[in-house]
Every structure is written in structure tokens, then in C-alpha cells.
Amino acid sequence: MPDEKSPIGTKDVGILRKAGKLAEALEHGRRLYVEDPGDQDTVRELAWCLYDEVKRLQRVDDGGELLDKAKEELRVLKLPGDEWHKILRECVARILNASPEDEVCIRATKLSIEDGKYGEAIQLLRPIAKSVNATPRVGEAYAWVLYRKMRDPVGARSDEVQRCLNEFQSCWKPDWPPSPKIFMCLLIQAKKLAETWQGFVPFVEHLGLERINPAEFDRPDADNEPFQSQLLTAIHKSLKKHSDLHGERPALQQLLTAWKDSFEEGKFGHYHLGRILLWTGRDQDQARVHLLKAVQHNPDEYWRWQALADALSGSELKIVLSKAVCCTTEDESLKIPLFKKYADLLAAEGELAPASASIKEAIRLRALSGSEWRDPMPTWFHRDNADGSLDILEYARPYSEKADEILADGLEARVCAILRPLESEGRFLCAKGDGKIITLKFRKGLKPDPNMLAIKAIFLEREHGVSNVLAWEACTNPNDLGFLQTGVVFETRMDKNFVSVATPSQSFIPIYFDRWPSAKSLTVGDCINLWWMRLDGEKSHILWWKQTKREEQPCFFEPIRGVFTQAPDRPHGLIDFNGVIIFVHPSDARRLKRGHEIQGWAVRLKDKVRGQTWRLVLSHP
């Protein structure tokens, strides 16, 4: 606050206004303006004071001389014309050109915000909002009043919220420009009624959300889920609860198409979208695609397979329902509708014995849950089927094993290098083309030979844990994975059971004897063709190698000749080859004599200390 002993300046006027002392700020602002009407800072602060004063007078419903005087005083001010004061000019222009409708909106807003008199505010705005000549400005003002009424703790009953949403829908014209902020606020309230209010989906369609970039709704609320996904979930719940809404819905299809890339795939995205497409009946093929992706996300959950079955027919339907039946869940009683559905399918195929067994399993599960079976029995049901002991899970299992073929549909085969088999049956440690290491699990009898170099596999990748392989074939093309290069052996480590190989792009690649026993015969200076890849974490892994004849590789492996010198006070040596210094490792330097001419080969390596450096390759006797 300004010091009472100091004279009030232009800056102090703004401080007083923001502190709520508008009358005092106006008094000093007017005085400073009389003293210097050309001071732009004074004009700015006085303009904001007069703007607040006009709004105050409008809220108290004073349309007399005070309001007219404040408006006129604001109108004659010469506002700064620079970009910095653009917002001020826009606010002043809007309040000076306010229509009688705007005055009503302001009063209604005041009633709903400051006084909590929603009924009076609604009575003020409803006639204007429902008139033929209503404007989007009035529509938004009325929407905010209705929203505040919905949010009021006293009147926020579900029936009251539903009435407010219906009232908004009856007033808001579909051809008005969309208002993302008010739409989002209303939808947050509406989606709570998705299952109880049959008008939820028509309400969503009425808004014409496809006209809005979904990124404008990209603000998570309390549960941290993107709003678009929350809306998709609510639409799914509403259609699931209200079958009368099923059938072609062009407006809803238009929204789903426009927003299809904004829905979070996650755990339920494809599931909700696929079910909605099935119920609205426009694109059954696309529904199948989404429901299949939902299953691929986690094929261990029975309800995903059960949902996919709704988009299938014929042999695929039986396979998928069989797979769903064989899946386990913590509460098996949830599968009662599934066993009934499976029984109907089997009965339609004339398989009455397993159909009856499926019904009996549903009855058993109902009894375990503590409830009685009250559903009417189908006419085909036989209480004493065959020998009376058919196990429906044993019957379904052979069919369920074919589900992988359906599961693999649409998935791309990816090249993976086989690193080694694991102790668990059917599991292999592998590396993808990007170098990330994963564990692949193969079905019994379909696992690859551990000595195989690489495979092309279709698998359901999981970020953590084991990825199940659905299909695979051998891969013999090194271009699909890693690098095919000619390297040079520059060091043998018999004590560590490996030899070190350098290539033009990688200075250290180990070949371990336990994986490649024949590598024990390699000596320093040998050249080999090798196929290798870089694993996650920058480790290198050999896929295949073969010894080849020694040949020059310019800028990497070249013949050299020069005089050997010992580095002063150092164990290593040096060779000057036409101005290029060749490093001689201490183990080799001990075998050479100072001043003697050396003829041999040098390889270029990347040294952590010296960067790129040439090193003598000297074979051990």
C-alpha cells in the first residue's frame, strides 16, 4: 500500500485499485489526469479504474447518471495505441458498446456469482437465451449460470443437474461457434450421469465437438486421465446401459472419426471404441480392429476376448469364445454370462453335450457366488449329458490354442537376435533391431534351435515381463539386424575367455569362447567377417563370424613401417610412420628393441583418453 505521508502517484493508483479501494483510486487517478492528461501511465491507470467502475455500476443495476458519466469519462480518454495496451483497448471497447442484452448478462452473472441467486439469474436470462435472435454471448452467459447452479452443493442433485443440461441443450444453437471451456465444464458434470441419463449421448452429439481440436481439451482432472478418454468411457457406459441408443448415429461417428487419434490407447481405449462402433453399426470391420487391439494389450483377460467375439462369426467366433472360457480371473462368477453365451453357440452347432456342460458350469459358478439360478433353461438343455462328466474347459482348450492365429492378425513380424536360451522352458533372451533386450516365450514344440542366429517373430511385446511369441520363422539376412563388417583381432584374453575385435565403427567387440569355441584359434592381427549388433546400454553382441584373409582397409587397418622408440618414463612405445604416431602397447613394447625398424600392421581405435589413435597389431609367437 502507498505510504500515507508520500504523495499518491500513478503507480499507487493501480495498487489501490487492485487492493479493492476503487473509490480512492478513482479520486487520485482523476486528479493526476487533470494535472497531466498526456501522461500515458496515468491514462492507463485511470482507464482501468473507470472500467472497473462501469462494471460495478452495471452489477448494482444503476442505469442512471453515474453509469452514463463513467462511460462518457472513459470514452473521451485517449488510450495508448501500442501493442502493449491492446487488451485494455479491447476491454474498454467491449464495455462501452455493451448492448441491453449484455447488461442483463452482467446482472445475471452477478446474481449467480456473488449472491448465489441462481433462480433469479435464470429467470433474467432464459427469455433472451430462448429468443430467435439470441447470440452466442448470451448463450455462454446462460451456460455459466446453469453450470454454477449444477456446482452448487445445495442444489447439485442428479435430477437438478439433468434439468440444467437439458435447459442448456434447448437454448444452445448447434451453428454457434463452439466454446471449448464451457463445453468441457458441462461435460465434466454430464459424464457423471452417463449411465442414469439417457440423454447423455444426444447431449454430446448436440455440442458438435468434432469442430474443436481435441488438444483444447487436453487437461486431465482429478483422476489424471486425458479428458478425451474420459469422454469415450462415458459414451461407452451410456450406450451399454441404454440399448435404445443403439443404431446408426452419424453425429457420434463424426466425432469419433475426428478425435480417433486423441483417445489414449492404454488399458481400455480400443475396448471402448470397438464396442461403441459395434453398437452404432457403421463400421464393423473397424470395430473388429479396435477390439483385437484391446485383446493384444492383455490377452490374459477373458472379457477382452468376450468383447472381440461380438465382432466375429463362424470358426473365429468359436475359437475366441473358447479362449475366453479358458482364461482365468480372480472372480470366476463374472464369467457366468460368458458360459451361457458359449453354450448357445455350441447348441447352435449341434454340440449339445458340451453346450449342456457349459450351462452346468454357469449354474455351478452362480451357486458358488451364493445366488440361486433363476434363468429359464434352454429347450435343448440335457441334465444328463453323455456320461455326465464332460469338462467344458477340456473341451474348449484345443479350440483356444488356435487363438494365437487371430491374435497375430495385424501385428508386424520383427527381427530379433537370439542371445541365449533361459532356464525356464520355452524362454529365450533376445534382442530386437533397436538393441533392446527382451524375453520371448515360445509355445511347447515350437521353440527355435538355440544355435539359430536370428528370427522374424510376431509377438505381443510387454514393457515388463515375458512377451509371448505367436509365430516365427528363421532369419538369414544380416541386413535386417545389426552390422556386417570386416574386423581385426587386436587382443587375446585367454584368462578372460575372449578375444577383442575392432571394426571401422566399433573399437571393442568381444567374442566369448563359451559361445564361440573356435575363436580360441584366433590370434592378434587376424581379420574376420562378422555380423554384430549393439545392445541396449551400448554393449556389443556377435551374431556370426568367419575368418578371412588379411587385407588393407584404408583409414582403419593399414600396413606400416617405422622405427620403434620407447616413450620417456612410460611402459608403452611409439612408431613414427610418415608423421603419424603409432601407439605400441606395453605388452608389445617389451618385445621390441629401441631404434629397430618395425614392419607390420596398425589398426585405428577409439581411445577414451586420446580419442582416435593408431595402434600396432603385433602377433604373439
Cut 0.85: pTM above it: no
Q: Report the distance separating Cα 570 and Cα 586, nearest Å.
A: 9
Helix ranges (H only) for 111-249 are 118-129, 136-151, 158-171, 180-190, 200-207, 227-241
- Segment holding 468, helix H or strand E: strand 466-474
Higher pLDDT, 414 or 61: 414
Is there a shared CATH topology between the 482-548 domain and the 557-617 domain? yes
Q: What pLDDT, in 10s, does the model give residues 446-485?
A: 889 888 888 889 988 876 778 888 889 888 766 678 888 9
Q: What pLDDT, in 10s, does the model give residues 39-67?
A: 989 999 999 999 898 888 877 755 567 88
What does the pLDDT average to over 122-140? 87
For the chain, how are helix, strand and coil distributed in percent, rounded to 5?
45, 20, 35
User: Yes or no: is domain 482-548 CATH 2.40.50.140?
Assistant: yes
- Indicate if the pLDDT at residue 617 is higher than 50: yes
The DSSP bridge partners found for residue 607 are 611
Ranges of each domain in the chain:
10-98, 315-406, 411-479, 482-548, 557-617
Q: What is the mean pLDDT of the chain?
A: 86
Q: Alpha-carbon torsion 382, 385, 391, 396, what sign? A: negative
The 8-class DSSP code of residue 473 comes to E
CATH number of 411-479: 2.40.50.140
**How is domain 557-617 classified at the CATH fold level?**
OB fold (Dihydrolipoamide Acetyltransferase, E2P) (2.40.50)
So what's the pLDDT on residue 362?
92
* Lowest mean pLDDT, pick from 104-113, 121-130, 198-207, 377-386: 377-386
The DSSP bridge partners found for residue 581 are 576
